[in-house]
Structure 1
Amino acid sequence: MRLFNSILLLAASSFIGLSNASFVTQQHTVSSHSASSALNNNYIIEFSGSNAETDKKKLADLLQDKFSDTSLTFGRLFNHDLMKGVSIQIGSSKGKDGPSLQSIASDEEEQQKLMNDIFKTISESGLVKNIYPIVPVQGPNTQVKVLSENNIDFGDVSPHLQTQVDRVHKELKNTGEGITVGIIDSGIDYTHPALGGGFGEGYKVRYGKDLVGDNYGSTSLVPQPDDDPMDSCAASTGSVGHGTHVAGIIAGKSDNFAGVAPDATLGMWRVFGCGSSTSDAVILDAVLDAYDTGVDIISISIGGFNGWPESSLGSVIQRVISKGVPVIISVGNDGRLGAFSTSSPGITPGAFSVASIDNNKYIASIFSVSGSSETYVYADSEPKVDDIPSGQLVAGDKSVGGDSDACTASTIPSDVKGNLALVQRGTCPFDEKANNLAQAGAIGLVVFDSAGEVALTPSVINAKIPVVGVSHETGLALVKAIKQGDIQLTFNGKEEVRTLPTGNTVSVFSSIGPSYEMGFAPNIAGIGGYVLSTLPQQLGSWGTMSGTSMSAPGVAGSVALYLKQFKDAGKDDISKPAYILEQLQNYASQVAHTNKNPKIETPFSQGAGLVQVYDALTQAPHVSPGHISFNDTINIEKTHTLKLTNNGDSIVSYQLVNNVSVSIEPYQDTTSYLFNEPAEFGTDAAKIRFSKKTIKLSPGKSVDITVTVIPPSIDPKLHIMYGGFITLKSQTKQTKDITIPYAGVVGDQRELPIYSNGTPHLTNATNPLSSYPIWGTNDTFVYDRKSNDSLPPTFMIRLANPTRHIASPVYNERGRRIGDAFVSLEYMARTTSTASGYAGTWDGKYYPYFFNLRMPLPLPVLPGKYQIGLDALKWLGDDDNENDREKWLSPVIQVK
């Protein structure tokens, strides 16, 4: 379930999102997620008053007096400066009134009406500011490679050279001592020697707690908190030691390893058990507790695909930031889904939204080929099936090298029996290839990528033989060798340090911005691809992971070094979160699009670039703001003002330059407007006019620079995403260049279609995952509420682009709008190519309108003919402007 904020669904009808999405809706003035997404009917009630304990008692008395036959359980009290509220679980009514003559009552319908009555009472109590359903949050999906060799110098794969951390340690003698970083994650093995060997006063891991317990998210959804954040989950649970890995990146320390801030103090707030999910309420609780503990920084490597920044968790994070605590969050791992693939809460305004850059070096598993002195790199499948055996390699398809290799049994040669089989990745799943080959007698599968320089990591579910992946180049070499004669592959578990072909470029998985509201995200980058760090000792002690989950703690460690440098000097004015982020952005290093294409990578992917900690700590000049968003063409702010301040003690001199980046071509075409997945890139560039082309500035002085954009002259229907970096090129040796990223879109986002694939569709399918009957414009859908055999009308939706709001008017036979089918649907993410879309069922009830006011309780429609509209607000559209809606009207629905 994705982490959304929106407003409460109090409808008798409901929408669900297929493939882990959900619709969300609005009622009253109370904001939250969809009620249908609430975890076991658990909610957080945020009070408007200043005393949560008093307000809780008043609310409890009110509800228990009016709903005495309903189970209402109050839980966690948030009597906090940043959140006044209480959690509540709403159970079923103990008594039933029976069905009305106008509708077919059911337990579900009665529960929905009960929920509606309860929330109407809550919202009209005068006590409540917001209602947030407690929703499940999936754990990070991160692949881990456990280190098996003991003779590797960890320094050979350290990313510190790329980020200047090595210089901060050596030249500034700054290792983050005295700074406390609070981590919200899956727990920690604090007994690991590199993490201090213990927990509590006097240890590196000094603070934190377990908010959930081991069983949470697997066998139980009931938290069993304690004061020990230990991660003792076994590999059999699917645990990869995510939190321990994150902690090592920030502050691990041993003879052969150093984190970014190796002498920093850590706190760990464990929000995942040994299962794969938690709830946003648990994360919220952890953030507040970390803040109360007095941590200097909070690091969060959690999120879900959704570009809307509105969320309950995001609101609290913003409040924490406003109190002076930097919050560093991963931007997401959905870069393969193209543009606008960021995650929440990683796009929270004011947060450090961190992209991932690949490490220059990595620890590779290698195999050898008979007759050759060269060794080749491979990657085990995820999850790993078993160790792949050595053996003869043969072609796994009669025409190996095609998209359909081993997709059907008929194309598999007979000589695969007893041998390893080689195929190219293609149109069918890796499991299908592996199991077809297993049926033919193969003992292992080697899959080569269809493109790319890095060894493929095949994803499998139920493969019956071991599967490994190699790069496209290695695969072609093996195909050639097979054609020349018999070859033997030897897999003996050896590892060695190799140069990564994609080193110092944006990781392929790193999410691409901006947010759906054109917010600048990501805004900074760290090393997240192939990062070595600590693992729980029961999982192998050391290993490599990749993800923005790794780049975020790297930046958190960098912020720890920054705070150590300036808090000790009493410079609190330049230690505020916004200033720190700007300083890191000012001196970040821009990476190339690829190592074969030296053009600058777009800011939509790398933010301001890869953090350069030493320069950020030692350079006094500062530019604010740290980035510029020009929005789309209609909402464009062509001119912005930059303020350059010389905080140093010598004169500085700069020349202003516009360094353009690659552009993004987000869509496949200008008809369907389906996203390119992955994104495609171009060379369309903007021009920038400066009010000053050269600057000379004395110590202690500031100067304003106005910058005006001239977007590229291209067809606005393409919605090209342009960007670049305004560079203040230093004219003095002792002063470094300063860069400010900018980005914008050519085109009007409001003109983009919301619906795709011909949807919305009206159907009667109960689980429309793939194919389903569709009622046409001239058809009539008959829904007999008195017949158990009559299926209710269901709407299928795919969204080409995101929408903030979908209205659902119900029209009677005379064409008059009598109310809404759904309370409303809000903050909806675009449908990706791998998702089935959204489905919603209408049960024949509506929210009536009287004197232009929507009533809070649904009523069953009278027998008759009706049509339902689904009117989607255009992207960045005005909710009060009917012209900003994409409207759809259903076929006639005859309700009996």
Structure 2
Amino acid sequence: MRLLNSILLLAASSLIGMSSASYVTEPRQISSRHASFPKNNFIIEFSGSNAEADKKKLTSLLEDKFSDTTLTFGRLFNHDLMKGVTIQIGSKDKEDSPSSQSAASEEEQEELMNEVFKAVSESGLVKNIYPIVPVEGPNTEVQVLNEEIDIGKISPHVQTQVDRVHKELKNTGEGITVGIIDTGIDYTHPALGGGFGEGYKVRLGKDYIGDNYGYNSTVPEPDSDPMDSCPASTGSVGHGTHVAGIIAGKSANFTGVAPDVTLGMWRVFSCYGLTSNDIILDAILDAFDSGVDIISMSLGSFNGWPESPMAAVVERVIEKGTPVVVSAGNDGKLGAFTSGTPSVAQGALSIASFDNTKIINNVFGVKGSSETFAYYDSNPKIGDMQNGQLVAGDKNVGGDADACDVSTIPSSVKGKLALAKQSNKCTLSQQAINLGTAGAAGALLYNYDYAIPSTETVKIPFISLSDKDGEALLTMLKNSQNVQLTFDGKEEIRDAPTGNTVSWFSSIGGNYELGLTPNLAGVGGNVPSTLPQQLGSWGMMSGTSMAAPGVAASVALYLKQFSGNDELSTPAYILEQFQNYAYQAVHSHDDPNIETPFSQGAGLVQVYDALTQAPHVSPGHISFNDTINIEKTHTLKLTNNGDSIVSYQLLNNVSVSIEPYKDTNSYLFNEPAKFGLDGAKMRFSKKTIKLSPGKSVDITVTVIPPSTDPKLHIMYGGFITLKSQTKQTKDITIPYAGVVGDQRELPIYSNGTPLLTNSSEGQGGQIPVWGANDTYVYDRRANNGQPRFVITLANPTAQIASPVYNSRGRKIGDAFVDLEYMARTPSAGIGYTATWDGKYYPYFFNLRMPLPLPVLPGKYQIGLDALKWLGDKDNDNDREKWLSPVIQVK
């Protein structure tokens, strides 16, 4: 037996037994500033057509079987798209107090839930059981804009052709309604109409959450008013108001993408940025019922399985004909397979982020010169850079090891502002630390085109500069010994060095079933828009949260353009049309290779082209899956909806590839992703096409994946391009993606887990861990903790089974009901825990019984058999198996 520090287990989600094929886990560590999120809350989805009647039947069944249990029913979903109810389960205390959940131990609660939900799942009433989980709002920073800045000059409308739609097509979205599910809105803002209700721009919606949810309470306080009046002291940044402005803002110097649409706002996040998935579900259904034409959602959770409840309901809304646009997520730094739910829902427009081509930069000047220099504050917590004299930060400044050694820093830096070049011989933080140690008053490090965050150990102001500006300052130093810098807080609009490329934060696909998400992109990096007036009225934010509403508003322009044409207005057709005419980014301005579809989807929306080009290709993208499940040949249908002959040449434009894993032993993800140049070849049934108006033609495409080592699981991609041979017709592109290798060969467990530990923390924060040759003694009569299993996942799994074996090695049943649809564990993320109560679910003629039985005293072992990625649940060879040490039960 060894000891494990308990900090490794903090905030791990406790998994309990659930019905087979119904339990979706979404572990989430919520911010410490939030109130404790209630446990043992679930969404019960009924299989019948009358939720009210099924609720009564379920209540009667559970009250008869569990008289010592408190069952609190909450939200009722009696909707065509969702029949269900929320329920909280607790144990009654000795006085039968209904607020007795805290009176029961964690182990007793888990035991109770195992019994209750097995009964629920065997009742014949239930289709799915989902845990109610917390969902945090996007962690978005805001840059309040100076009133002197002309906001219209940094609008991304030229990038997305929205300017042409407004000017040439006279289309501003009038008559279309966009429903937003977000943090609320300051509808009194002049650019957002000044009011709420009939006759105003913001006409629909409600508040599902209240201001204080997550602060001192997790009880929603709903009302009919979606107003966001949250002060800055709550941490609120006005996310929903910013989103609304991107869609429909309208003022003298600012125009949203669709400035004349009608808005609805369903507020689901409190001032403290917390909600839960059941609240979001209710808002989605209400927005759908209100008759909105589009739903825009800038929210989500880190889980790529399309089976989550939010993704499932989004898919149903889309099937009913309402497009749903969802931000893909801001977890790009965590590598591949980071697209979140519900953006992974089948049919959703899953949106990546491109950077704006314009940016507002802080600038400083040089005395005696009219030139200004843009910079990024990399250490804002220390304070602003002060005016001062610039000196060289190294005796050989401009070399490859500037300031990496204190001995090479001249004494002249003391009390001065030191200039140094980024080094590949030491970290930038070390450079800044060394300059501070040598006495510099501030550090200017160049060769960066974006903000470089410093560590807490950097104790001086530290700014990042571009290579061009750094070299210009270095030239000034060579020509003068008295270069004085002035920092006066000025801002200027500049060309963004990363403009029109995928934002660094944008989540990378695909989903866990290898579908292509994201599937489209909008501008989300450095986007100006409205803020609540108490927070400054105007500001800049970055995130896929900003990209999604821009695309939602683009869809509004599309629906306006084709109003009354049902054939061209289905969610599937709209997505395909925007994909057909999207702009593909290069990997970076230093790398001209095309960015992978796993990062940019089909590319950045080109709204004018999508609205004016008649030829159409379906499907809009292709997923070739992995090598084992590959469908090498797909059929594309090109339809000419125009009135002139079109002609194309077919090409294969390969993109950069992704090397998802650090090595072929641990198979831990590269965080951030690592890219390569492994491309696929394509065979086309036709190399050229000439098509008359009103005609269609099928094109078969066959992939030849790159011949890379299957153990590397290279993620390849590219774009099938129909190169137009006529001036009036634009090129059409269809993204494709696939994986070389068999996903079933990837390990599921990581970091030496599963581990057998104790549910009670030991002395000094140490938790014992039992090894393979140890015996865990579990005395049910003593209060010494229960066996607990700790799990981290290198890769996602759709199911973990938990067979219980007796001392003769015979399986007698299951310890838990299957754990399902579990996300991979990022390097900085939390894992999972499951506690065993000494009971098992027995089998009778291969059928698992609905209620658990206590095991007899004796020795047992518990297996945790994880289904391999894309494995077959009915194939025992598709399991990664782990067997616990012996557990002696008394």
Q: Which residue identity lines up with residue 132 of structure 1 in the other structure?
A: Y
Q: Which residue identity lines up with residue 561 of structure 2 in the other structure?
A: Q
* Kept after mapping to 1: 8 A contact 2:186/2:241: yes
Measured in 2, the distance between the counterparts of 1:291 and 1:546 equals: 28
Q: Which residue of 2 aligns with 1:144?
A: 142
The C-alpha deviation readout for 1:412-442, integer Å capped at 9, x for no partner, is 999999777889899999999999999x899
* Kept after mapping to 1: 8 A contact 2:379/2:463: no
Q: How far did residue 815 of structure 1 move?
A: 1.6
Q: How far did residue 526 of structure 1 move?
A: 0.7
Q: Which residue of 1 aligns with 2:214?
A: 217
Question: Which has the higher mean CA deviation after the structures are superposed, 849-858 or 252-261?
Answer: 849-858
Q: Which residue of 2 aligns with 1:513?
A: 509
Q: Which residue of 1 aligns with 2:31?
A: none
SS at match of 2:882: coil
**Residue 875 (1) aligns with residue 874 (2):** no
Measured in 1, the distance between the counterparts of 2:398 and 2:817 equals: 53
Measured in 2, the distance between the counterparts of 1:426 and 1:94 equals: 63
Q: How far did residue 642 of structure 1 move?
A: 0.6
**Residue 576 (1) aligns with residue 570 (2):** yes
From 526, 540, 545, the equivalent of 2:541 is 545
**Residue 855 (1) aligns with residue 849 (2):** yes
SS at match of 2:883: coil
Question: Which has the higher mean CA deviation after the structures are superposed, 317-326 or 714-723?
Answer: 714-723
| 1:431–1:201 CA distance, 2 compared to 1 (3 A) | farther
Correspondences of 1:675-824 after superposition (within 5 Å): 675-764=669-758, 774-788=769-783, 790=784, 792-824=786-818
- Unpaired segments of 5 or more residues in structure 1? 1-14, 98-104
Task: Tell me the C-alpha RMSD between the 2 structures.
Answer: 3.8
The C-alpha deviation readout for 1:79-116, integer Å capped at 9, x for no partner, is 2221222223333324499xxxxxxx964343334334
Measured in 1, the distance between the counterparts of 2:220 and 2:424 equals: 43
Q: How far did residue 131 of structure 1 move?
A: 2.6
From 631, 639, 642, the equivalent of 2:633 is 639
* Kept after mapping to 2: 8 A contact 1:524/1:611: yes
* Kept after mapping to 2: 8 A contact 1:379/1:457: no
Q: Which residue of 2 aligns with 1:340?
A: 337
Question: Which has the higher mean CA deviation after the structures are superposed, 180-189 or 374-383?
Answer: 374-383
**Residue 194 (1) aligns with residue 197 (2):** no
SS at match of 1:240: coil
Q: How far did residue 199 of structure 1 move?
A: 1.1
* Kept after mapping to 2: 8 A contact 1:802/1:828: yes
- Unpaired segments of 5 or more residues in structure 2? 1-5, 29-36, 97-102
The C-alpha deviation readout for 1:370-420, integer Å capped at 9, x for no partner, is 676543333346986755544567899999999999999999999999777
Q: How far did residue 363 of structure 1 move?
A: 0.8
Measured in 2, the distance between the counterparts of 1:412 and 1:791 equals: 58
Q: Which residue of 1 aligns with 2:182?
A: 185
| 1:779–1:533 CA distance, 2 compared to 1 (3 A) | same
Q: How far did residue 676 of structure 1 move?
A: 1.4
Q: Which residue of 2 aligns with 1:294?
A: 291
Question: Which has the higher mean CA deviation after the structures are superposed, 608-617 or 127-136?
Answer: 127-136
Question: Which has the higher mean CA deviation after the structures are superposed, 112-121 or 292-301?
Answer: 112-121
Measured in 1, the distance between the counterparts of 2:462 and 2:317 equals: 46
**Residue 320 (1) aligns with residue 311 (2):** no
Correspondences of 1:367-766 after superposition (within 5 Å): 367-368=364-365, 374-380=371-377, 387-391=384-388, 448=445, 452-457=448-453, 470=465, 489-567=485-563, 570-764=564-758
The C-alpha deviation readout for 1:188-226, integer Å capped at 9, x for no partner, is 111111111111111111111111111112222111111
SS at match of 1:665: strand
Q: Which residue of 1 aligns with 2:820?
A: 826
Measured in 2, the distance between the counterparts of 1:141 and 1:279 equals: 16
Q: How far did residue 489 of structure 1 move?
A: 4.5
From 2, 18, 28, the equivalent of 2:19 is 28
The C-alpha deviation readout for 1:424-468, integer Å capped at 9, x for no partner, is 899999999999999x8999865858x7421335587x9998776
Q: Which residue of 1 aligns with 2:32?
A: none
* Kept after mapping to 1: 8 A contact 2:19/2:817: no
Measured in 1, the distance between the counterparts of 2:425 and 2:777 equals: 40
Q: How far did residue 715 of structure 1 move?
A: 1.6
Measured in 1, the distance between the counterparts of 2:137 and 2:48 equals: 34
| 1:857–1:60 CA distance, 2 compared to 1 (3 A) | closer
Q: Which residue of 1 aligns with 2:112?
A: 114
| 1:247–1:782 CA distance, 2 compared to 1 (3 A) | same
**Residue 264 (1) aligns with residue 248 (2):** no
Measured in 1, the distance between the counterparts of 2:465 and 2:213 equals: 37
| 1:121–1:815 CA distance, 2 compared to 1 (3 A) | closer
* Kept after mapping to 2: 8 A contact 1:453/1:473: no
Measured in 2, the distance between the counterparts of 1:245 and 1:406 equals: 42
**Residue 127 (1) aligns with residue 125 (2):** yes
Q: How far did residue 259 of structure 1 move?
A: 0.8
SS at match of 2:329: coil
Q: How far did residue 474 of structure 1 move?
A: 6.3
Q: How far did residue 821 of structure 1 move?
A: 2.8
Q: Which residue of 2 aligns with 1:100?
A: none
Measured in 1, the distance between the counterparts of 2:196 and 2:535 equals: 19
Q: How far did residue 518 of structure 1 move?
A: 0.6
Q: Which residue identity lines up with residue 750 of structure 2 in the other structure?
A: S
Measured in 1, the distance between the counterparts of 2:458 and 2:487 equals: 19
* Kept after mapping to 2: 8 A contact 1:333/1:509: yes
Q: How many residues align?
A: 868
* Kept after mapping to 2: 8 A contact 1:405/1:426: no
SS at match of 1:555: helix
| Structure 2 length-normalised TM | 0.89
Q: How far did residue 702 of structure 1 move?
A: 0.9
**Residue 249 (1) aligns with residue 246 (2):** yes
The C-alpha deviation readout for 1:530-573, integer Å capped at 9, x for no partner, is 11111111111111111100110110010000000001xx2111
* Kept after mapping to 1: 8 A contact 2:177/2:293: yes
| 1:238–1:487 CA distance, 2 compared to 1 (3 A) | farther
Question: Which has the higher mean CA deviation after the structures are superposed, 790-799 or 181-190?
Answer: 790-799
Q: Which residue of 2 aligns with 1:10?
A: none
Measured in 1, the distance between the counterparts of 2:341 and 2:730 equals: 34
Measured in 1, the distance between the counterparts of 2:59 and 2:558 equals: 47
SS at match of 1:313: helix
Measured in 2, the distance between the counterparts of 1:730 and 1:820 equals: 60
* Kept after mapping to 1: 8 A contact 2:119/2:851: no
The C-alpha deviation readout for 1:614-658, integer Å capped at 9, x for no partner, is 111011111100001111111000100111111111111111111
Q: Which residue identity lines up with residue 48 of structure 1 in the other structure?
A: S
| Structure 1 length-normalised TM | 0.88
